[in-house]
Structure 1
Amino acid sequence: MFSEDIINLRADTVVLKENRKLPESEIRTIGTLYGFIPGPQWASRIEENNIEFVYEGSTRILIRMLKKGLIDGLDLNIHVVKHYATELGYDANDFALAKHAPSTQFSYQLSTTSHPDIIRQFDAFLENAKNEIAALKRANNIYN
């Protein structure tokens, strides 16, 4: 059982700014976090075995790998990449969306197989507190 959507997000294909116009076919290695799965936009390239996903436990390490040219892109949200890039001392503007590569929308939800009552309570909370949640999202620049 899944809850209602908590937040809607987007996974982007992030590349170095100078590579933003590369054809999708020239993006051959994509970094993403352990536990993340490639989005459906990559299915055909995975089946054809012409793209490799590199998994890492740290967003910071993935950004360093991209900056050093060890991977061609990241399958992460551009805002997350720019945030961590700034923390690492990089210019956030050195990272851009790949113009010819896909992005995908997804949402976070709670899930359970054994506690449906918690999901129902959480859904009621989301409905009853929607104005407060919207205000918190605005205050923290979280848009969906």
Structure 2
Amino acid sequence: MLLKIFIILLSLVHCNLFCKQIIKLGVEDINYYPIYGAYNFDGIKMKDYEGLVADILKFYNKSQNDFEIVFNPRPIKRLYMEFLDSKSDLDAKFPDNPLWKDKLKIQSKQKILYSDPILEYTDGAFVFHENKKIALNEIRKIGTLSGFDLINYDTLINNKKTILEEYNNVNILFEKLLTKSVDMIYLNKSLVECFCQREKKNSQILFRSDFPNSKGYYYISTFKYPQFIKSFNLFIKQKKGDINNINQYYKKYKCN
């Protein structure tokens, strides 16, 4: 009996010294590969969350002994609602940005903390090459991912002359654009450039820099674990060179 008690106490002491705090990270259940996602280029579900950001976060897990990030994919619209619910089992969210869903965050009354920037992004408009000179007010159908915010397109969409079509699959958006079923799609610039490079569509899909676009950074957010944010920010500072190498690897090898 004493031996059993000793073993239990020893295991508790061992866990206090070496067990990591699990961080259930809510992530978007979309095929945004190679940036991040639960699906590959062909839209096939992968066994794990993969991509550039996933590799950075997995590298964080290996680089310290305090926290272990576990990916929890959710549909985009559901992810925010679940994350902001204090009763949710999600501990943190990626991607996030202080400017996203600001009204929803205010309503939740949660004190949300953000990590240092992880990855820069540009979201914007892409058109079929035949529409390279189309005016913004001539756009009649816009395609984007379900749950995405189209910043500075409210007036265009609310005038009832322009229809917003939302899809859960990036490949469907590319198909809709290439078959001229929509006039433009609104997506991450790096994602579209990678697709065009892989599928040899650089001359067919064009970025309209003169249309409204959104630039910023992806962050991790939480209101439950401030120490996790401190730990992750330290990782970003200390491993800046390694993180840059991961970024360069994806740019060089994953879009060919």
TM-score normalised according to structure 1 size: 0.84
SS in 1 for 2:166: strand
Q: Find the counterpart in structure 2 of residue 104 from structure 1.
A: 214
Structural mapping, 1:1-144, within 5 Å: 1-39=113-151, 41-85=152-196, 91-98=201-208, 100-141=210-251
Is the contact made by 1:21 and 1:100 (CA closer than 8 Å) also made in structure 2?
no
Measure the CA separation in 1 of the matches of 2:237 and 2:193. 32
For residues 241 and 142 of structure 2, the distance between their equivalents in structure 1, rounded to whole angstroms, comes to: 38
The AA in structure 1 aligned to 2:130 is E
Q: Per residue, is there more strand in 1 or in 2?
A: 2
Question: Which structure is higher in RCO with an 8 Å CA cutoff and minimum separation 6?
Answer: 1
How many residues are treated as equivalent by the alignment?
A: 140
Runs of 4+ in 1 over 6 A off after TM superposition: none
CA deviations over 1:90-138 (Å, ceiling 9, x no partner): 6332100125422210221101121111111111111111121122222
- Contact 1:83/1:92 (CA < 8 Å) preserved in 2? no
Given that 1:78 and 1:96 are in contact with CA atoms closer than 8 Å, whether structure 2 keeps it comes out as no
* Deviation (angstroms), 1:86: 5.9
State the alpha-carbon separation in 2 of the partners of residues 34 and 112 from structure 1: 23
Q: Pairwise CA RMSD of aligned residues?
A: 2.1
The structural deviation recorded for 1:82 is 4.1
- Specify the SS of the correspondent of 2:130: helix
- 1:18-46 CA distances to partner (integer Å, 9 max, x unpaired)? 2111111111221111232112x213323
SS at match of 1:74: strand
Contact 2:122 2:190 in 1 (8 A): no
Contact 2:115–2:221 (CA<8 Å) still a contact in 1?
yes
Amino acid corresponding to residue 250 of structure 2 in structure 1: N
SS at match of 2:221: coil
What amino acid sits opposite 1:14 in the alignment? F
TM-score normalised according to structure 2 size? 0.50
Unaligned runs of 5+ in 1: none
Structure 2 gaps of 5+ residues are 1-112
Give the Cα separation in 2 of the matches to 1:49 and 1:135: 46
Give the % identical residues: 24
